Amino acid sequence: MSFVIWLTGMSGAGKTTVARGLAEALRARGVAKLEVLDGDAVRENLSKGLGFSKEDRDTNVARIAFVAQLLARNEVNVIVAAISPYAEARAAARERIGASFVEVHVDCSLPELVRRDVKGLYAKALAGDLAHFTGVSDPYEAPENPEIRVSSESQSAEQSVAMILAFLEARGEL
């Protein structure tokens, strides 16, 4: 079977870093059919024009789920990296994709995200200058029961990747 590793987490939590590291590790293990659907690229290709209201975010997540499902049912493995802040939209993605769906929460505390603030967005949002910013001016509904939870605060990206690989091995996917 194929898998869809769905990385959810706040901006700057390290989803893209984990996605890239995981893709590299999977390719090194001979996983030939693999696509990475990363939030920004997906917005450019599937969701230009959508904003950051709940409705638009949910639509964006639904589109990613639609594409991931098309790939997964043809035995192409997928890594999704998307904030996907709402539990209900993630549950709908899980429902659509079925048994291939593996939810991975890329966790990081707000104080640490504010400390890093690579793009300066947390400072802006905390100052009240950025509406609909997940975790500050918009909710992030952390997964209550994800298949895997990794932390970019207490773990290296390599350790997070290793956890996901171990999960896939245990499932007989690798």
Judged by CB under 8 A, does residue 33 bind a copy of itself?
yes
In angstroms, give the least distance from the CB of 115 to a copy of itself. Answer: 36
**What does 48-70 look like in DSSP terms, one character per residue?**
TT--SSHHHHHHHHHHHHHHHHH
Report how far residue 71's alpha carbon sits from residue 84's, in angstroms, rounded to the nearest whole number.
Answer: 19
In angstroms, give the least distance from the CB of 3 to a copy of itself. Answer: 14
Determine which residue in the list 31, 67, 121, 126 makes contact with a copy of itself, applying CB under 8 A.
67
Catalytic residue of the set 2, 47, 84, 152: 84
Mark whether 160 is an active-site residue. no
Strands 34-38, 101-107: parallel, antiparallel or unpaired by DSSP?
A: unpaired
Tokens for 59? 């639509």
| Minimum CB distance to a copy of itself smaller for 71 or for 81 | 71
Interface positions, 34-63, toward a copy of itself (CB under 8 A): 35, 45-46, 48-50, 59, 62-63
Which amino acids are annotated catalytic? 84
